[in-house]
Structures are given as structure tokens and as C-alpha cells.
Amino acid sequence: MRILFVGDVVGKTGRTAISEHLPGMIRDWKLDLVIVNGENAAGGFGITEAIYNDFIDAGADAVTLGNHAWNQKEALVSRSDHSPVPGLLFPRRDHKWPR
């Protein structure tokens, strides 16, 4: 099984790198599971639902969080399929692992 864990995506530069490079990495490296740490993805502090969805759309299977995850007013404060707990792994809804 090939697993990629992308640690600490920070701000717009990090988000752009994910959207531009992750799909090709998944294809070229035949990755089975991709986990992205998104706690600093919104301007270096926190994550929003839109950013979470961008990571999933780019091919991430799950997004991890940490102590900065709740620094945005648009943070992942309520998800119908998961409890918002710092450090929790937020998997994509279809849970088709491995690819």
C-alpha cells in the first residue's frame, strides 16, 4: 500500500501546491491513501469547509487537524458525518480505501 501524508499545508501557497500537484502525484505514484494536514490552510491559521472540500477534490482521502483548526469563523465547526475534535481525521464521505 502506498501512503502519502502531507504535513502542515500553510496558506494560499500550500493550497495551490496541493491543487496543482496532488492529482498528478496520486496518478504517477499510484497512491492508495492520501492524508493532508489542514490545520493552517486558511491564511496560516485554521481551515474552512471550502478548503477542506478543495483538498478532497484534489484527491485527499482525509484531512487531519490540530490546535489551529478552529481559528477561522468559517471553521469546520459542524459536520453531519463527524464530530469536530482537534486532531481528528476527517475522511472523505465515500470511504473507498484503498483506491
Cite the active site residues.
Answer: 68
The three grid cell numbers given for residue 13, joined into one nine-digit string: 501557497
d(CA 78, CA 83): 7
Tell me the CA distances in angstroms from 70 to 18, 41, 74, 84, one per residue in order.
21, 11, 8, 9
The three grid cell numbers given for residue 76, joined into one nine-digit string: 469546520
Calculate the CA 39 to chain-centre distance.
9
